[in-house]
Amino acid sequence: MGKITNVKDRLPGPESQRLMAISQQYEARVQGYQAPLVWDHAEGVVVSDVDGNRYIDWTSGVLVTNVGHCHPKLVHAIQEAATKLLNCYEFPTEPRVMLAKRMVEITPPHLDRAFFLTTGSDATEAAMRVVKRHTGRYEIISFYGGFHGRTAEARSAGGLGGVRRGFGPTVPGFIHVPYPYCYRCPFKARPETCGLLCLDYLDTTVHCLSTGSLAGIIVEPYQGSAGFIFPPAGYLKRLEEWVRAQDLVFVLDEVQSSFGRTGKFFAMEWEGLTPDLVCIGKGIGSGMPISALMATSEVLTGLKSGDLGSTLGGSPFSCAAALAVIEIMQEEKLVENAARIGAILQQGLRDIMEHSRYLGDVRGQGMVAGLEFVTDKATREPAPDITVRVISEAAQNGVIVGKVGMYGSVIRVAPPLVMNEEEAHESLEIMEKVILSL
Ligand code: PMP
């Protein structure tokens, strides 16, 4: 066992077993596969389960606790806010207006308005409402593999079978096009030589399928739920140029890529993108329920009172938490830390891939990566069974990971941004042992 982790016996421990049995009996069984343990408390990047085992967290919940679990300054801000004012609906409050000011200050200059909601899905739904209201048109381009939430329009914009299938018709008006999933390119092309063929395909598809009511486009800077698919350098900028040439509203879904995750505060900074609307969630509250829609004043023209709204959106309580998160990120230089520690993780994971029979691809940026497992590196057949083994063996050895991907074959790597070098090396050593013993 390492210095930080300590898993005493075969999982699940007795207390976890007891609680998992109650869960089996009373909870809706809709959760994805997780290691057999019950979380009790966590601090920084270290999670303790109810049996007293300690693990290094490579999940941040689901890319949420960017400032680390239960950061004392965040906990203090929440406690203080809770004693003062929990909710007041649309009245302005000091935390809400100050958070709007801070968000406008930290996002690229063209984004000069903020609106707060509760979840990532709220933010993407709100963005699509703005697109339609602003343009008076209704068609939105979205991507194979895209994930924007489970609510009606978000699900319809999405391109993952698990979200779309079995729930009846989707909302009309979405035109889906392939995202550059270069490891499994549908055109069997290679990023070094293809000249971004998928962008030509996008142009043709839209030309043929649009009814003439094109309004906007919604895209993730990298696709998280589809399996941490990172587009080749330059793709998003070229996409933006195309969007501008068509006079469409550009929506960037940064629900999971923002707040330092990729080694920049916002992923849009990597290529200097200037989206009209940016959806932000997860890390902004680092565990508190808050999301944001950042916008240009221009794209909000035409919106009337009542066009956007949410019962708990922008509550003084959540806004106070988000203000504390921004302060912590800046004081502790967490974006820089994400870039520095992220580079160690990315390199370490690539080294493991070199020696592994089943780890076919490692993709990532900063403190986020996807490990795609295959049954055979030559055929690239997805290996969802292997990811299940990785999850349970990793936990058994002291690291918590999760799985995603359109084929369930990708392990998600997304530790809290406060991770230090020792924690990075210890968890990499554990993962090396787990992956190389498959
Ligand atoms: N957009 C993206 C890119 C996401 O990753 C998610 C959540 N995984 C959402 C939207 C939906 O967020 P929420 O679950 O908070 O509604």
CA of 120 to the centre of ligand 1 (A): 5
CB 132 within 8 A of CB 215: yes
- For residues 180 and 209, is the Cβ–Cβ distance under 8 A? no
Paired tokens of 345? 């993780």
**Token match 């350098």: residue?**
233
27 and 87 both lie in a single domain: no
50 domain-assigned:
yes
Q: Are residues 143 and 180 in the same domain?
A: yes
Buried b (16+ CB within 10 A) or exposed e, 113-140: bbbbbbbbbbbbbbbbebbbbbbebbbb
Q: Please indicate, yes or no, if residue 9 is contained in any of the structural domains.
A: no
Closest approach atom of ligand 1 to CA 124: 10
Q: Which residue's C-alpha comes closest to atom 1 of ligand 1?
A: 148
Does some domain include residue 289? yes
**157: in domain:** yes
Residues 309 and 340 in one domain: no
Pairwise CA distance, residues 250 & 237, whole Å: 12
Query: Within this chain, do residues 241 and 350 fall inside the same structural domain, yes or no?
Result: no
In terms of domains, do 112 and 253 share one?
yes
Asked whether residue 119 is assigned to any structural domain, the reply reads yes
Provide CB contacts within 8 A for 397, sequence distance 6+: 5, 7, 430, 433, 434
Q: Which long-range contacts (CB under 8 A, 24 or more apart) does 74-78 make?
A: 74/286, 74/287, 74/288, 74/321, 74/324, 74/325, 74/328, 76/324, 77/320, 77/321, 77/323, 77/324, 78/288, 78/317, 78/320, 78/321, 78/324
What's the Rg (C-alpha) of the chain? 21
What pLDDT does residue 1 have? 64
Query: Which mutation among 63, 223, 256 tests ligand 1's pocket best, with the greatest number of atoms within 8 A of CB?
Result: 256
| 327 found inside a domain | yes
165 closest CA partner among 184, 150, 186, 181: 150
Q: Which CATH number characterizes residue 289's domain?
A: 3.40.640.10
Q: Which atom of ligand 1 sits closest to the CA of residue 146?
A: 3
Q: Where is the domain boundary, 331, 356, 371?
A: 331
| 302 and 206 within one domain | yes
The span from the CA of 187 to the CA of 214, in Å, is: 26
- Order of strands, edge to edge, in the sheet holding 249-254? 113-117, 291-295, 277-280, 249-254, 214-219, 139-143, 174-177
**Sign of the four-CA dihedral 195, 197, 202, 203:** positive
In this structure, what are the phi and psi dihedrals at residue 226, rounded to the nearest 5 degrees? Answer: -70, -15
Alpha-helical (H) ranges within 87-119 are 94-106
- Alpha carbon distance 436, 358 (integer Å): 9
Indicate if 366 and 292 belong to the same structural domain: no
Measured in Å, residue 149 CA sits from the centre of ligand 1 at 5
Question: Residue 207: CB partners within 8 Å, gap ≥ 6?
Answer: none
Q: Are 84 and 182 contained in the same domain? A: yes
224 lines ligand 1 (CB under 6 A): yes
Q: What whole-number distance in Å separates Cα of residue 329 and Cα of residue 106?
A: 11
- Tell me the CA–centroid distance for residue 51 and ligand 1, in Å: 31
Atom of ligand 1 nearest to the CA of 122: 16
Looking at the fold, whether 294 and 341 belong to one and the same domain comes out as: no
The answer, yes or no, to whether any atom of ligand 1 lies below 6 A from the CB of 125, is no
Q: What is the CATH number of the domain that holds 34?
A: 3.90.1150.10
* pLDDT tens digits in sequence order for the chain, 438 residues long: 689 999 999 999 999 999 999 999 999 999 889 999 999 999 999 999 999 999 999 999 999 999 999 999 999 999 999 999 999 989 999 999 999 999 999 999 999 999 999 999 999 999 999 999 999 999 999 999 999 999 999 999 999 999 999 999 999 999 999 999 999 999 999 999 999 999 999 999 999 999 999 999 999 999 999 999 999 999 999 999 999 999 999 999 999 999 999 999 999 999 999 999 999 999 999 999 999 999 999 999 989 999 999 999 999 999 999 999 999 999 999 999 999 999 999 999 999 999 999 999 999 999 999 999 999 999 999 999 999 999 999 999 999 999 999 999 999 999 999 999 999 999 999 999 999 999
In short, whether 225's Cβ falls inside 6 Å of ligand 1 is yes
**156 and 274: one domain?**
yes
Gap between the Cα atoms of 297 and 302, Å rounded: 10
Q: 390, 401 in Cβ contact below 8 A?
A: yes
**Tokens for 104?**
């406008």
Q: How far apart are CA 26 and CA 432, in angstroms?
A: 37
Beta bridge partners of 286: 288
Ligand 1 geometric centre to CA of 237 (Å)? 23
State which residues form the domain around 51. Answer: 14-67+333-436
Rounded Cα distance between 132 and 292, Å, is 18
119 pocket-lining for ligand 1 (C-beta < 6 Å): yes
19 CA distance to ligand 1 middle (Å): 28
The atom of ligand 1 lying closest to the CA of 257 is 3
Best residue for ligand 1 mutational test, from 124, 153, 291, 293 (most atoms within 8 Å of Cβ): 124
Question: 158 CB under 6 A from ligand 1?
Answer: no
Both 97 and 173 in one domain: the answer is: yes
* Number of folded domains that form the chain: 2
* Atom number in ligand 1 closest to CA 291: 15
Pocket test for ligand 1, best of 259, 282, 288, 312 (most atoms within 8 A of CB): 282
- For residue 17, report the distance from its CA to the centre of ligand 1, in Å: 30
Q: Where among 299, 331, 363 does a domain terminate?
A: 331
CA 252 to centroid of ligand 1, rounded, Å: 12
Find the angle CA(211)-CA(240)-CA(337) to the nearest 5 degrees: 135
The reply to whether 2 falls in a domain is no
- Using the mean position of ligand 1's atoms as its centre, give its distance from the Cα of residue 255 in Å: 6
Q: Is 256 in the pocket of ligand 1 (CB under 6 A)?
A: yes
Closest CA to 406 of 147, 55, 211, 64: 147
For ligand 1, the distance from its centroid to the CA atom of residue 21, given in whole angstroms, is: 29
Three-state SS at 433: helix
d(C-alpha 17, C-alpha 23), whole Å:
10
CA of 343 to the centre of ligand 1 (A): 25
Instruction: Tell me which residue has its CA closest to atom 13 in ligand 1.
Output: 120
Residue 1 forms part of a structural domain: no
**SS3 at position 247:** coil
Distance, in Å, from the CA atom of 234 to the CA atom of 196, rounded to the nearest integer, reads 9
Which of 276, 302, 331 is where one domain is finished? 331
Beta carbon of 137 within 6 Å of any ligand 1 atom:
no
Q: Are residues 129 and 262 part of one domain?
A: yes
| 337, 331 Cβ separation under 8 angstroms | no
